[in-house]
A and B are shown apart, each in its own frame.
Chain A
Amino acid sequence: GAGVSQSPSNKVTEKGKDVELRCDPISGHTALYWYRQSLGQGLEFLIYFQGNSAPDKSGLPSDRFSAERTGGSVSTLTIQRTQQEDSAVYLCASSLVPPGQLNSPLHFGNGTRLTVT
């Protein structure tokens, strides 16, 4: 079946512009995660959705970042007034059930490479 789909795969934007990254999880997966990987850094957890709710938004790096999930499916990560330090690969993942429960392996998308010039 189809895996986690992220779009766009690559995005180049000018500093100060807003960008929207999309994640389409595997159908039926209730949990959805956003991570980012900056050059030379480890994976940074951003936010996790269970259904349409995000129990913890503290991982978002600044108030320029927001995320939403509608219909328990597609999620969008929005970065307003982009800065060069936002350049990174943004990874989305989904799992059938919440983390910590049985049979909840993560399925990752291929990521969106964001470059802010």
Chain B
Amino acid sequence: AQKVTQAQTEISVVEKEDVTLDCVYETRDTTYYLFWYKQPPSGELVFLIRRNSFDEQNEISGRYSWNFQKSTSSFNFTITASQVVDSAAYFCALSEAWSGGGADGLTFGKGTHLIIQP
């Protein structure tokens, strides 16, 4: 069975601080996909990134970066120089190989509520 754990239910930082959101996953598959989504107050889920289990290269996109470590089954997300607009809930998710990276068999963590104070 798959499991995604986001131990931090809420994080509050002051603007311009760096913040890391943790994600730990469990799966028996050797091939799987990991995702991060952002949920702003509007309710929609905004796709941020998808990585497959064979690509451990860390990725940076502007102020966002992701650290994928299979050895610790973690896929952590860091926001550098946080801004008020980054305030949202963030969800880590895992899907199995047979889904082809889609929503079939998608398991979400409970989410981390990030508050950026001005």
Contact = CB atoms under 8 A, between A and B. Distances in A.
A31 B39 CA distance: 13
Interface string B1-45: 000000001100000000000000000000000000101111111
Nearest to A31: B43
B70 to A, nearest CB: 23
B102 A104 contact: no
A102 B87 CA distance: 11
**Interface size band for A:** 20 to 34
B10 A102 contact: yes
A99 B40 contact: yes
B98 interface: no
A91 B102 CA distance: 12
Interface string B62-97: 000000000000000000000000011101000000
A12 interface: no
B113 A105 contact: yes
A106 B103 contact: no
A66 to B, nearest CB: 18
Contacts of A42: 47
Contact of B102 (A41, A103, A107): A41
Nearest to B112: A105
Nearest to A91: B103
Interface stretch (A15-23, A32-40, A76-84): A32-40
B77 to A, nearest CB: 16
Interface of A: 31, 33, 35-43, 45, 48, 56, 59, 88-89, 91, 98-100, 102-108, 111, 113
